[in-house]
Amino acid sequence: MIHYLYRLAFCSLFIICHPLQSQETYFEENIFLPTDTSSAYRLNNLTYHSPRSLKIALVLSGGGARGLVHLGVLQALEEHQIPLNLIVGSSIGSVIGGFYAAGYRAEDLIQIFREIDWQNLFSDQTQRTHLFWSQKTSPRKHLLELRFDKGFPYIPPALSPGQKIFDIIYARLLNANFQSANDFDNLRIPFRAVATDLLSGKRVVLDHGDLAEAISGSMAVPLLFAPVEWDGMWLADGGIRDNLPVDVAIENGANLTIAVDATAPLRTGEQMKSPWQIADQVTTIMIQEPTQQSRSLADILISPAVDNYGSNDFAEIDSLILLGYHSTIQMIDSIQQAIKMIQENFWGENYRFGKISSIAISGMDSVLADSLKKSLVVKEGQDLRLYDIYEDLTYLYRAGFLENTYAFLKGTASSLSLQYVVRENPLIHRLIIKTNHINPDSLFYEGYLSNLNRPLNYNQLFMQVDALLNTLFASGYSLARVVDISYQPGLRTLQVRIDEGYIEKIEITGNLITKDGIILRELLLKEGRPFRSWEAIESLQNIYSTGLFDRVTLNVVRNDSANSIIFRVKEKKYLLLRVGLNASLERKAKAFMELAEDNLFGREIKASLFGLIGDLEKAAEFKLYSVRLLKTYLTYRFSLYYQERWDRYYQQYSKTDDYLTIRRGLNFVLGQQIARLGSISAEFRWDNISIFSENFIFPYDDNYKIRSFTIRSVVDKRDKLPFPNKGIYNRWFWETGNKKILGGSSSFTRFYIGLESFYPLHNSLNYRTRATAGSGDLTVPFSEFFTLGGIADFPGLYEREKFGRQIASWQNELRYAFSWDLPVDMYLGANFNLGATWESSEDLIKKSDFLTSWSVYLAINSLIGPIQIMYGKLTNIRDIIYFSIGYEF
């Protein structure tokens, strides 16, 4: 309202000084430009004025993949230097709008959105490389997992808890140039995210809090993403209530609203094949009328022709960006004209004063004044209007080195004299950067010297302080802030005080069962140390990687002196049932059921009862283990088991008999995990084994009491299973059996090593190589022989067809991934194998001992597990067709 008072006072005085008479009247008047005194940084002993400007708001709608047109819109607005003072977004509009408000440019956003794996966005499974070795081997690969809540089956609220999308948003925002510090007005451009509260059914406008969570809530499509819990609300997709929130921009003081509408048209019958697509259709119908009303409220409406694109067409990102860009370019003239028109209304009536005869700038160096004078709108000998003076005052303020300025106008209508009176900012002789921890010299660069020994230039100062903060952000100090900028007049010294973002307190909330220590031990962030972005991201990954939580978020509560970090977790239901199925031509069918408690006593101790039944095997097991022991990286596992397994006995590549192996025993493992790469462990095995066959041809009928001690090492960096793209899988063990321990019947020693690597040769082509070798002494019992054969081990041989106390094999494989647009991954592969076994470690190794084989296969990574059909040929001996479906267990 201040500028309206200025205008009223000026109009009254103008009428007094310009009575309606023919005789010209001499007058004198000071004309001030309406300004704001607030700045992005706290200033001490400094006066700052900036011209009050229009508030131009950009409103970005939802629309799923269609919303990618917003990227092209921003690109066009940037190119034509259309200023934005507010961004309002709903659904995907909040994602793009929030990132842009946080400091990313359009080009940066386009690159970010191209890198996102949209197809796997709903998969919240922890990346395998983030798991400890003990987690990589558990649980068994299953077909179905059902969790229980107070004894009743628990149905999750959505396909995805939303952790992956939160991680993507959070990691990018930590690296943005502007941090919100819980207030979205602190961003480079003030921002508002629109969401829907599922509990009250009301629209929610988010203007504070955690920016990543606000964006996640605004785009949480029901059934696809679980709602985000926020201050007692369940936030879901903003498009449910308001897909084009133009009125939010108006309510926040926008003088001009530019709305971008990427709303989806109604789906056809063929396009509704899933529950969430039907739910989306219902939502689209409900918002049609409100969206039409919002369109009418916008000053400028940009409506790219998105009818030919689906809400899941993220692969069409380049086409959608181009569509948004061209749609905006067509509206640029209208936008610029609207800005000019509203600017004129903003300043009031454009009064004409008369002819200007002289112009001067006083209060500064004459050379600088003459330089500035050349760029003024007002020219001698021309008519003088109020807008011309306002534009000149705006120009002078925006030069950056003025503390204050106004226009002094005197004379008559036929001969006016105009003087711009300025007061320069104080001189700066010295600049000090004060920090708590970081060496200030590491933040200083020669550009700061341009501000010395001359009047302070706010433009340069703010740009340099922004660059200083960006340096800190790029180094991971995401909570760094400028405490204040102070001027010491006596010393003519400018001091910039930096807080690197120290952590005063770390809190855990939402863990009703899990002990705080289980979560705190996963944190890299520590109290009393600066907040580092990479430590925050890794801490979130570590907590989520425990498998104990559906969702893990990090919130920062900032006050004037310190930061409190709050990790919010949403616990899973820990009692669960798993079911698995597998079938193959060779091993026929088998199934398992496992009842497990995933978080015993709230200490990440896991206990399970496992039962397996199949045509050729049966098993039962009780297992108790923990991923980590207290705060160490030690892991342990204890198991009691009973196993029955039928195998075929072959002689000269012909089946001659079947034999049964029964194992009853216990196993205890204590290991040291090597970060998240692997482990080295000590194992004790108490195993009673019976092997017999109904046919006298089988020569290995016997009973064994194995009491063995094993040292084992594993390094597993495979990125995923069952079809890795990259990584290594190396393992070795040394085992010794002893007759003197607990009634053991066999003393033996054996050693094994396996080396396996995966190399991506191309986007679709992968190479795998594996080499194995093992050797045992002459006392190694048959139950501990090394074996060779089977679809995964040595195609061309049947499973465990070859065996012995010594083994050597080498396998090479090429695998091609089809790039077809399929709902599952499909592969075509071929491999070549070389291998041999020797029953005695004293046997001479001859070239003729080695078998060769090759195979080709077609595999599908389906929802029920891998499906594989393979043709294997053992050179000069036989062909075998293999088929398997389901995960191996």
pLDDT (tens digit per residue) in 573-606? 999 999 999 999 999 999 999 999 999 999 999 9
pLDDT in the model for residue 133: 82
pLDDT in the model for residue 140: 72
Higher pLDDT, 736 or 231: 736
Residues 450 and 382 in one domain: no
pLDDT at residue 244 greater than cutoff 70: yes
- Between the two ends of the chain, the Cα-to-Cα distance in Å is 74
Q: Encode 648-665: b = buried (16+ Cβ within 10 Å), e = exposed.
A: ebbeeeeeebebbbebeb
pLDDT at residue 14 greater than cutoff 70: no
Residue 145 near residue 153 (C-beta atoms within 8 A): no
Return the SS3 of 792: coil
pLDDT (tens digit per residue) in 187-233? 999 999 999 999 999 999 999 999 999 999 999 988 889 999 998 99
DSSP 188: S
Residues 377 and 485 in one domain: no
Tell me the pLDDT band of 448, cut-offs 50, 70 and 90.
Answer: low
Tell me the pLDDT band of 445, cut-offs 50, 70 and 90.
Answer: low
pLDDT (tens digit per residue) in 330-386? 999 999 999 988 887 777 777 889 999 999 999 988 888 888 888 899 999 999 988
pLDDT at residue 15 greater than cutoff 50: no
Residues 465 and 526 in one domain: no
The upper half-sphere exposure of residue 357, i.e. CA atoms within 13 Å in the direction of its Cβ, equals 8
Mean pLDDT in the chain? 90
pLDDT in the model for residue 13: 42
What gap in Å lies between CA 872 and CA 833, rounded to an integer? 10
pLDDT in the model for residue 12: 41
Token pair in block for residue 99: 């990132």
Residues 757 and 802 in one domain: yes
Structural domain includes residue 536? yes
Phi, psi torsion values for 136, nearest 5 degrees: -70, -25
pLDDT in the model for residue 27: 83
- In this prediction, what percent of the chain has a pLDDT beyond 70? 94
Structural domain includes residue 463? yes
Structural domain includes residue 606? no
What gap in Å lies between CA 164 and CA 544, rounded to an integer? 10
Indicate the residue among 376, 406, 421 that finishes a domain: 421
Give the total number of structural domains in the chain: 5
3-state secondary structure 623-692: EEEECCCCCCCEEEEEEEEEEEEEEEEEECCEEEEEEEEEEEEEEEEEEEEECCCEEEEEEEEEEEEEEE
pLDDT (tens digit per residue) in 632-690? 999 999 999 999 999 999 999 999 889 999 999 999 999 999 888 999 999 999 999 99
DSSP 331: T
Residue 295 near residue 250 (C-beta atoms within 8 A): no
What gap in Å lies between CA 35 and CA 714, rounded to an integer? 68
With the C-alpha atoms ordered 56, 62, 63, 65, is the resulting torsion angle positive or negative? positive
pLDDT at residue 560 greater than cutoff 60: yes
Return the SS3 of 428: strand
Cβ neighbours of residue 419 closer than 8 Å, sequence gap 6 or more: 359, 360, 361, 362, 407, 408, 409
Rounded mean pLDDT of 303-322?
A: 90
Residues 637 and 743 in one domain: yes
Give the CA radius of gyration of the chain: 36
Return the SS3 of 725: coil
Is the pTM value of this prediction over 0.95? no
Structural domain includes residue 179? yes
Token pair in block for residue 19: 């009575």
pLDDT in the model for residue 196: 95
pLDDT at residue 738 greater than cutoff 50: yes
What gap in Å lies between CA 491 and CA 487, rounded to an integer? 9
CATH of the domain at 508: 3.10.20.310
pLDDT at residue 570 greater than cutoff 50: yes
Residues 310 and 439 in one domain: no
Rounded mean pLDDT of 399-421?
A: 93
Residues 366 and 459 in one domain: no
Range of the domain at 19: 2-31+351-421
Structural domain includes residue 40? no
Structural domain includes residue 597? no
Rounded mean pLDDT of 247-251?
A: 96
Tell me the pLDDT band of 129, cut-offs 50, 70 and 90.
Answer: confident
Structural domain includes residue 368? yes
Residues 413 and 434 in one domain: no
pLDDT at residue 280 greater than cutoff 80: no
DSSP 790: B
Tell me the pLDDT band of 10, cut-offs 50, 70 and 90.
Answer: very low
Residues 515 and 491 in one domain: no
Partners of residue 669 on adjacent β-strands: 637, 683
Residue 418 near residue 409 (C-beta atoms within 8 A): yes
Q: Go through the chain and tell me how many residues it has.
A: 889
CATH of the domain at 828: 2.40.160.50
pLDDT in the model for residue 271: 64
pLDDT at residue 23 greater than cutoff 90: no
Token pair in block for residue 874: 């053992």
pLDDT at residue 8 greater than cutoff 50: no
- 537-540's contacts with Cβ under 8 Å and 24+ in sequence apart are 537/167, 537/170, 537/171, 537/174, 539/567, 540/167, 540/170, 540/567
Residues 306 and 195 in one domain: yes
Classify burial at 714, counting beta carbons within 10 Å of its beta carbon; exposed 0-12, middle 13-18, buried 19 or more.
Answer: buried
**Would you give the distance in Å from CA 745 to the centre of its chain?**
56
Residues 193 and 88 in one domain: yes
| Residue 142 CA: distances (Å) to CA of 147, 571, 580, 624, 797 | 13, 21, 4, 19, 27
Indicate the residue among 499, 533, 552 that finishes a domain: 499
Question: In 3D, which of 505, 483, 368 has the Cα closest to residue 433?
Answer: 483
pLDDT in the model for residue 697: 84
Tell me the pLDDT band of 273, cut-offs 50, 70 and 90.
Answer: low
Query: How many other CB atoms sit within 10 Å of the CB of residue 694?
Result: 10
Tell me the pLDDT band of 565, cut-offs 50, 70 and 90.
Answer: very high
Residues 358 and 321 in one domain: no
pLDDT in the model for residue 274: 67
Rounded mean pLDDT of 438-460?
A: 76
pLDDT in the model for residue 507: 96
pLDDT in the model for residue 283: 65
Structural domain includes residue 319? yes
Indicate the residue among 421, 443, 465 that finishes a domain: 421
CATH of the domain at 106: 3.40.1090.10
Rounded mean pLDDT of 774-790?
A: 96
Higher pLDDT, 13 or 95: 95
